[in-house]
């Protein structure tokens, strides 16, 4: 099958993309409004960018729920210039899903999902105590990609502080994926586990 995106409806394109770009890690983003209300929401258009400086990106799509077209997370990040990316594992999957509800801006999603906000060390939004890893970030850049329904804003953050629960670290100081138990997002309401891992040794041309 060959497809010209220009001939496809925006909804079909979105469904196609989330079916093909799999599995996706999930950034569970804590942010805070300028009047101090905590917000929490998952974003799977998420990845790391580089390590110098340590940077992450999330893409936040346009919403028809707000006159500005901005999801609360984006409004808060633009207002405060800070956010926290919390890692989602099996034990917090249901709570993560709860925080994807489009609650009004004055609802604290930590409270709605029964989660524990823990003060950050370098940023004002709290981290999720129940999450195994949290990256405290300051806003680096936002890049609008398109406009109106289906468009998105790419948010780039610089990691200022990392919190890791000791329970997911190996004796040698690495992350143990079997202890971390991350989940990945697939299409629709589907997710995946990371229960089976295999290795490929990379060929090197240097002696
Ligand atoms: C697993 C998962 C991944 C999601 N990924 C994204 C994403 O990458 N970008 C996006 O804009 N919305 C994504 N959403 C939807 C948002 O979480 C949802 O719109 C949320 O209500 C936004 O909350 P806010 O208005 O408090 O920012 C995702 C939802 C789920 C359940």
By CB neighbour count within 10 A (0-12 exposed, 13-18 middle, 19+ buried), where does 125 fall?
A: buried
Shortest-distance atom of ligand 1 to CA 66? 25
**Domain range enclosing 167:** 5-193
Shortest-distance atom of ligand 1 to CA 40? 26
Res 57: pLDDT: 98
Question: For residue 179, is it left (φ>0), alpha (ψ between -120 and 50) or beta?
Answer: alpha
Res 190: pLDDT: 98
Per-residue pLDDT of the chain (207 residues; tens, 9 = 90+): 999 999 999 999 999 999 999 999 999 999 999 999 999 999 999 999 999 999 999 999 999 999 999 999 999 999 999 999 999 999 999 999 999 998 998 999 999 999 999 999 999 999 999 999 999 999 999 999 999 999 999 999 999 999 999 999 999 999 999 999 999 999 999 999 999 999 999 999 987
Summary count for the chain: helices (H), strands (E): 5, 11
28: CA distance to ligand 1 center in Å?
9
State CA 89 to chain mean position distance.
12
Res 63: pLDDT: 95
Number of domains in the chain: 1
CB 197 within 8 A of CB 177: yes
Residue 202 lies in a domain: no
Residue 129 lies in a domain: yes
Using CA positions, which residue lies closest to atom 20 of ligand 1? Answer: 100
What distances in angstroms separate CA 65 from CA 31, 45, 61, 72, one per listed residue? Answer: 18, 20, 12, 10
Pocket residues: Cβ below 6 A from ligand 1: 26, 39, 41-45, 59-61, 71-73, 97, 100, 102, 185
Residue 200 lies in a domain: no
Residue 139 lies in a domain: yes
Residue 183 lies in a domain: yes
Using CA positions, which residue lies closest to atom 6 of ligand 1? Answer: 43
pLDDT (tens digit per residue) in 103-133: 998 999 999 999 999 999 999 999 999 999 9
Shortest-distance atom of ligand 1 to CA 45? 8
What is the three-class DSSP state of 182? strand
Q: Which residues pair with 27 in a beta bridge?
A: 43, 87
CA angle 135, 176, 109 (to 5 degrees): 40
**d(Cα 140, Cα 125) in Å, to the nearest integer?**
16
What is the three-class DSSP state of 90? helix
46: CA distance to ligand 1 center in Å?
11
Instruction: Residue 60: name the closest of 154, 135, 144, 138 by CA.
Output: 154
| The pair of three-digit structure tokens given for residue 125, joined into one six-digit string | 């939004």
Residue 102 lies in a domain: yes
By CB neighbour count within 10 A (0-12 exposed, 13-18 middle, 19+ buried), where does 166 fall?
A: exposed
CATH, residue 63: 2.30.110.10
**d(Cα 14, Cα 34) in Å, to the nearest integer?**
32
């Amino acid at each position: 099958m060959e497809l010209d995106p220009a001939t496809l409806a925006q909804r079909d394109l979105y469904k196609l993309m989330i079916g093909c770009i799999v599995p996706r890690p999930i950034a569970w983003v804590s942010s805070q409004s300028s009047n101090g209300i905590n917000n929490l929401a998952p974003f799977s258009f998420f990845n790391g960018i580089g390590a110098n400086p340590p940077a992450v990106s999330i893409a936040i799509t346009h919403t028809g729920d707000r006159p500005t077209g901005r999801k609360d997370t984006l409004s808060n990040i633009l207002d405060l210039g800070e956010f926290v990316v919390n890692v989602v594992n099996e034990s917090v999957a249901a709570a993560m899903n709860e925080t994807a509800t489009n609650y009004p801006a004055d609802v604290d999603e930590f409270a709605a999902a029964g989660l524990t906000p823990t003060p950050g060390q370098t940023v004002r939004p709290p981290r999720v105590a129940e999450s195994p890893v949290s990256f405290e970030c300051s806003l680096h850049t936002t890049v609008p990609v398109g406009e109106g329904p289906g468009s998105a804003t790419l948010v780039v953050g610089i990691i200022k502080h990392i919190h890791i629960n000791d329970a997911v670290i190996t004796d040698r100081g690495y992350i143990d994926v079997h202890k971390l138990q991350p989940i990945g997002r697939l299409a629709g309401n589907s997710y995946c586990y990371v229960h089976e891992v295999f290795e490929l040794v990379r060929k090197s041309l240097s002696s």
